[in-house]
Amino acid sequence: MMSLKETVPMPDLLASRRLLCIQPHPDDMEYSSGGTLALLADRGTEIIYLTVTDDAAGFLSGNKDEAEERRKIRKEEQKNAGKLLGVSKYHWLNLPDAGDWNVRQARDLMLGFIRRIRPDFVLTVDPWMPYEAHRDHVMAGLAACEAAILYSLPSIASHQSVPFDPFSIQGIALAWSDRPNLSLDVEAWKERKREAIRQHESQINPQSWEHYCVYDDGRGAREGKASGTLYAESFKVLDPQLLHCVPEAGNY
């Protein structure tokens, strides 16, 4: 009897030519996958960001009157970070950070971008990560996964009028997954990742940065141990067809 991996081979993230990164906030890709994005960009992959929320709530100080200024700051920081990693385009859904929106709303917005951008791979955060308490992450990940299996159905409308022209998403990669099946050696890109993260100045203080670096070094070492590397980033990589009615996908 053939195994699931023999029936549905794991898509090759490193072979992606156009990667759409769907993230809840402007810095999630840098933190979770910065080394991998730099690696892919150096290999010629087109990296495109689609950010779900405006991240206007992610400041330690400020008042509601300054919300628009906070949005501008976050977008500028995001572009500065993305420039270091090789990001080529930026799109925003501008949903309220930690605010009142839902999976269906985000999914329908994502469908229009997916159909227009036509990525061959999608990278997002794992919405099934245990103990994830931030609903922006859970909802954004779920919406991205659902969009990745419904984009090819023309009867499902999006919020953008995009002529339907069939294409194929080859794979989806879930960052911050507790059940990864791919670890990539990104030791050579670690400092570029760190420098990109440091561009998000409004979100970092010296103590939080020190704590993050200690955590990231430890996580990177643990993720690299399986493949004999010093520092790795890991992902759950699936063919999108496994995201519906396939219980074995969790252990794929």
What's residue 166's pLDDT? 86
Mean pLDDT value across residues 21-28: 98
Strands 87-95 and 46-53: what pairing?
parallel
What's residue 157's pLDDT? 79
Mean pLDDT value across residues 211-227: 94
pLDDT tens by residue, 80-109 = 999 999 999 999 999 999 999 999 999 999
What's residue 200's pLDDT? 96
CATH numbers and ranges of domains, the chain = 4-243 (3.40.50.10320)
pTM for this model (two decimals): 0.95
What's residue 171's pLDDT? 98
Q: Is 84 helix (H, G, I), strand (E, B) or coil?
A: helix
Q: Rounded to whole angstroms, how far apart are CA atoms 25 and 78?
A: 9
pLDDT over 90 (residue 119): yes
pLDDT tens by residue, 144-193 = 999 999 999 988 877 767 777 889 999 999 999 999 999 999 999 999 99
pLDDT over 60 (residue 48): yes
Higher pLDDT, 65 or 122: 122
Q: 62 pLDDT band (50/70/90 cuts)?
A: low
Phi and psi (nearest 5°) for 140?
-65, -45
pLDDT tens by residue, 226-240 = 779 999 999 999 999
Q: Give the start-end residues of each E strand in the chain.
A: 18-23, 46-53, 87-95, 121-125, 171-175, 182-185, 232-238
Percent of the chain with pLDDT over 90: 84
